[in-house]
Amino acid sequence: MNIPKQIEEQAAQLRETLNEHNYYYYVLDAPRLPDSEYDRLMRELQTLEAQYPKLMTADSPTQRVGAAPLSAFAEVVHARPMLSLNNAFEADELDDFDKRVRERLEVEKIEYVAELKLDGLAVSLRYENGLLVKAATRGDGSRGEDVTQNVKTIEAIPLRLRGEDYPPVLEVRGEVFMPKSGFEKLNRQQTAKGEKTFANPRNAAAGSLRQLDSRITARRPLTFLSYAVGVVEGAELPGSHYEILQRLQVWGFPISVQMLVVQGVQGCLEYYQDILTQREALPFEIDGVVYKVNRLDQQETLGFVSRAPRWAIAHKFPAQEALTQLLDIDVQVGRTGALTPVARLAPINVGGVTVTNATLHNQDEIDRKDVRVGDTVIVRRAGDVIPEVVRVLPEKRPENSQPFVLPEHCPVCGSDVTRVEDEAVARCTGGLFCPAQRKEALQHFASRRAMEIEGLGEKRVEQLIADELVENLADIYTLSHEQWAGLEGMGKKSADKMMKAIEKSKSTTLARFLYALGIREVGESTARLLAQQFGDLEKLMSATRRELKKIPDIGPVAAKSIVTFFQQPHNREVIQRLQDLGLHWPQNESPVATAQTLSGKTFVLTGTLNGMTRDDAKARLQALGAKVSNSVSKKTDYVVAGEKAGSKLEKARTLGINVIDEAGLLGLLQNAPAN
C-alpha cells in the first residue's frame, strides 16, 4: 500500500513531538505537554501505524510495549569489560585512595566527580548511527545477557539519539532501577493478585529487567540514569568525565542531578555528608556515593588493578545497625492467619529512631540465626523498612537460654497451627473463628464468587468489626434490621437491601459454600471438584488425607489443609451454626456422575459471551472434565472466542488451534449440568 506523503510527514512529526516530550519529561524533568495531550498524540500515531504498518520505525515511541517472549537470553561479550569498584567504608580508607592517586599522578590535589551509587542493575547500551541496537546486563563483567527487547520498554532510555554530533558507535553505561514509589505500587499489585512480592527495589528491578516476556517489563516502573561510556568509535569525546555526562544528556540520556565536581578528599567528604542527610528523602535507593577522577588523561595514566579502576572508588554508607538485648519473642497473627515472631528489644537508637521491636520473619530465620530470648543481638534499620535482627552474639548468651519454637496452637484463638512443607510461613487454621482473621474471612465469605452478599464490602465489614457486631461469619445472619440501619451511611432503605441480600445468600450450592469458607489451597475449581466428588458436607468433613489424595488434582498439600481445617472444633461450630441459621444447598446432588465428555481437553476463553458469563462457561466446561486455562499454548485444544476477542484469538490462529464461537461452545456443553 502506497503511503501518502502527507501521512508520512504527519507520522514523522508525531514521532518527533513524542520523543521530544520524553526527553523533557525523563531527562530534564521539565515536561512541556500535559499527559492528556501526550496520550492523544500517542493514540494518533498508533492509529496511523496500524493503518500503514510500513510507517512503523525502530525508534517509534509506540514500540515500548514489549514483544513476544524469548526462550532464553543470548550471551553478550562486552567489548570493554564492565568493571566493579573498590569500596571505602571509613574516611581513612578514602584518604588512602586519594593519597595513592595523587602519588601516581604526582599532583597536589585531584578534581573528582562525585555521584550517587544507585542500587539497581548495571547495563550497557550500544548505539549505531544514533539507533539503539543492543542492550546487555553487566553479568560477570566480561559477559552479560542480551536484554535489548526489555530495555526498549524503559521510557527513560532513548531509542534514537538526539542531535547529529553523536559518534557513529556509542556505548553508554548506566543503572536501571526502580523508584521507591514504583516499587511500593508494584508490591501492592503483586499482593492484590496473590503473587510473590519483592524484597527491595533492587530485586524488583533485576527481576523486571530479566523477564523473558518483555511485555511484563513494559508494565514495571523502571527508569535509568547514565554514568559512563564504553566503546566510542568515529568521534572524539570531551576530555573530562563531567563533560562527557553533560554531552550524554544533550544526546537524550538522563544523568543524576546530584552529580557534582569536587576538589580533593575534603570535597568528597562534604559531598558524602550532604547526600547522607538527603538519603531518606531521595525518590530511589542508594547505598553510597562514587568518586571518579574527572580528567580522562589522568584516568588513563592510573589504569586498572585486577577487576577495578584505580581512578574510582565507592564510598559506602554505614549499615544502620546497633547492639541491644532481646527481651522476649511475641507471636503475632496476621489477617491471613500467618504467624510472625516479633522480637521485643531493650530500647535502642538506630538511625535516629528509638527501636523496641524487630521482625524475626519466621521459624526458619530464627533457626538459621539461632535467635533466643536473652541474646545480645545486632539490629538493623534502613529507612522505613521494619527493623530486623541481623545476627546474634553467641558469646554473650545467657547459660540457661533455650531455642525458640513457634507455638502449636494459635495464641489468639487456640486453633492448631500448621505449616505446609516447603513453605516458610506457619498459619492458624481457625479461619472461621480467629479474631485476627475476622476481617479477611468476612470479606471473602461475602464476595461475589462466594456467598455473593451484595453491599457487604470492605467498608461495611470494617464497620461491623469496629462496632463489635460480629465475632464470626455466622453473626452476619443474626443482625437485625435496626443494627444494619444504625451503621454510618446506611439508613432504612440500605438496611432493607442488605437484609434481602443476606436472606438470598442462604440458598447456595455446596461448591460456593466450600469456597466461601476460605480453606487454604481450596479455590473455586477445587471447591467444585470436592462438591462433585462428595456431594455431602458431612462426608467431606470426615474425609481422610488418603481419601482426598485419591481425587485427581488434589495433592498432599491441599489434602492436609482440608483435613486440618475441618478438624478444628471452632470451624465446625461456625459451620453448624451457619446451617442452623438457614444456609442450605441441594443435598446429595453431586454432578460427579455427569459424563466427562471433555476430559483431557484444555480450553481458553476470550472475549464477551452473550448467553452466559465466562465464569458460568468455565464452570460448565469443568463439570464435563475440561481444564480451563488463562493462556494459549500448543497444549490448548480449543479457544472460545466471544465478542471483542483479543490477542488470545490471534495467538490461537497463529498456532493453528481450534477456534469456536459461543454457538460452538453451547454445542459442546449440551450435557453440562445447570449452574
Active site residues: 117
* Grid-cell match 533455650, residue found: 402
Query: Phi and psi dihedrals of 210, rounded to 5?
Result: -100, 30
Distance CA 537, CA 517 (A): 12
Query: Treating both helix axes as pointing N-terminal to C-terminal, what angle do 201-209 and 180-192 enclose, rounded to 10 degrees?
Result: 70
Q: How would you label 327-336 residue by residue, b for 16+ Cβ within 10 Å and e otherwise?
A: eebebebeeb
Rounded alpha-carbon distances, angstroms, from residue 650 to 63, 604, 654, 657 = 19, 13, 6, 10
Rounded alpha-carbon distances, angstroms, from residue 273 to 267, 269, 277, 278, 316 = 10, 6, 6, 9, 12
Question: Could you tell me which residues are beta bridge partners of residue 353?
Answer: 350
Q: Who's near 222: CB < 8 A, 6+ residues apart?
A: 153, 154, 176, 177, 178, 182, 205, 208, 209
Distance CA 39, CA 27 (A): 19
Please give the single-letter amino acid code of residue 52. Answer: Y
- Beta 87-88 vs 312-316: how paired, if at all? parallel
Rounded alpha-carbon distances, angstroms, from residue 328 to 356, 417, 427, 444 = 11, 21, 21, 34
How wide is the angle at C-alpha 578 spanned by C-alphas 481 and 509, nearest 5°? 105
For 592, the grid coordinates are 460427579
Query: Phi and psi dihedrals of 485, rounded to 5?
Result: -65, -25
CA atoms within 13 A on the CB side of 641: 16
Distance CA 469, CA 456 (A): 14
DSSP state of 626: -
CA quadruple 9, 12, 16, 18: dihedral, nearest 10: 110
How wide is the angle at C-alpha 223 spanned by C-alphas 219 and 226, nearest 5°? 150
Instruction: Please write down the long-range contacts of 453-460, taking CB distance under 8 Å and 24 or more positions apart.
Output: 453/498, 453/501, 453/502, 453/505, 454/497, 454/501, 455/494, 455/497, 455/498, 455/501, 456/498, 456/501, 456/502, 460/487, 460/498
For residue 621, count other CB atoms closer than 10 A to its CB.
23
The H-or-E segment that residue 403 falls in is none
